[in-house]
Amino acid sequence: MQVLPQSDSPRLSRRRVLAGLVSAGVAMSLRGGAVEAASATGDRIVDVHAHYYPPVLKALGTPGPMNAWSLQKHLEEMEAAGVARSLLSLTTPGIVVPGDEGRKLMRESNEWAAKTCGEQRGKLGFFTCVQLEDIEGSLKEIEHGFDVLKAQGVGLFTSYGNRWLGDPYFDPVFAELDRRKAIVYVHPTSAACCGGLIPGVFDTLIEYGTDTTRAIASYIYRGAARRFPNVKMIWSHSGGTMPFLIERFDGADRAPAARAEAPEGFRAAASKFFYDIAQASNPVATTALRSVVPVDHIVFGTDYPFRTPLEHVKALQAGGIFKRAELRGVYRSNVEQFLPALVSGWQ
């Protein structure tokens, strides 16, 4: 409780006390309302976009915000918002150490994730991480991740060097993912072309959303979506800037080259993907996204620990863009219906 200055009059003190009580009540109401919204779904929210930091990477001593991540705090934040399962992935830049040392770090990170998730009795799942530029290493890690570690999917980034995900260089990996009917979660990064373009403006503000759009366009217009129809793609942050540029993509569809690689058109191809609402749960972003893709292809994400699950539950509730049944789909049932591997083993 706030201690009032002794010089305040009794009347003013009472006003301040009442104001403090009202303020506290509003805060409790917001928190309670968010949890109430989660409870309406059976407290079974699925967060497809949450990050972890394994000890093998922390031991490298690289400075960064993920060094503060802890499993216990993550579980507490999940409980506060009614999140029953989080799908863990490495965030940008992933593991960039090349060669055998990079493969070793990758394997140890994935094995730690699998062990940690197994100990949490269904509260956690994970996307096995790969370094996509290393085709042979990626194929080995995908095999180990699915067949030994029982990963729920594979985590990729929007670009690697000067290649985006539709580049034919990556076809051997996507062919294997297609064979397995795998779920692929895609996190944005800073493309080699475009990092640090504006002094004082972090890449996370502009480049992450832009690189997501580049990757989606690459995946569709370079024919990967057509070649690998069984891969289930999840794109982050409400599709980046893609929904806002949809009119331009509609126009690009008239070009013969675009029709050859995406005969059904960009919008039809994009509507088959899935999109999380992490850090893009506001009404502007969600309205744009749902105008381009089916609501049942929108899923819940948080980008934890950079944002909390509770913030996203509150934002979706306050935004009023989704009806109650649609919100239940975003929270959980869209995953259960279309991406059941993400909730396999969920108790």
pLDDT at 177: 98
Tens place of pLDDT per residue across the chain (347 aa): 333 333 333 333 333 333 343 333 333 344 444 445 454 445 589 999 999 999 999 999 888 889 999 999 999 999 999 999 999 999 999 998 999 999 999 999 999 999 999 999 899 999 999 999 999 999 999 999 999 999 999 999 999 999 999 999 999 999 999 999 999 999 999 999 999 999 999 999 999 999 999 999 999 999 999 999 999 999 999 999 999 999 999 999 999 999 999 999 999 999 999 999 999 999 999 999 999 999 999 999 999 999 999 999 999 999 999 999 999 999 999 999 999 999 987 65
By residue range, what is the domain housing residue 12? 1-39
Shared-domain flag, residues 30 and 95: no
CATH code assigned at 171: 3.20.20.140
61 and 18 part of one domain: no
Among 306, 295, 300, which residue's Cα sits nearest to residue 34?
Answer: 300
Same domain? 52 vs 16: no
pLDDT confidence of residue 121: 87
Within this chain, do residues 16 and 93 fall inside the same structural domain, yes or no?
no
Q: Are residues 28 and 146 in the same domain?
A: no
Q: Report pLDDT for 171.
A: 98
Instruction: Report how far apart the first and last C-alpha atoms of the chain are (Å, whole number).
Output: 41
Q: Note whether 57 and 145 are same-domain residues.
A: yes
pLDDT for residue 344: 81
* 19 shares its domain with 118: no
- pLDDT of 127 reads 98
Cβ-contact 307, 74 below 8 angstroms: no
Do residue 1 and residue 89 come from a single domain?
no
Bridge partners (DSSP) of residue 274 are 234
Q: Are residues 69 and 27 in the same domain?
A: no
Residues 34, 93, single domain; the answer is: no
Per-residue pLDDT, 22: 33
Same structural domain, 166 and 259: yes
Burial 238-277 (b: 16+ CB within 10 A, else e): bbbbbbbbbeebeebbeeeebeebbeebbeebbeebbbbb
State whether 125 and 243 are in the same domain. Answer: yes
pTM (2 d.p.): 0.88
Total of domains in the chain: 2
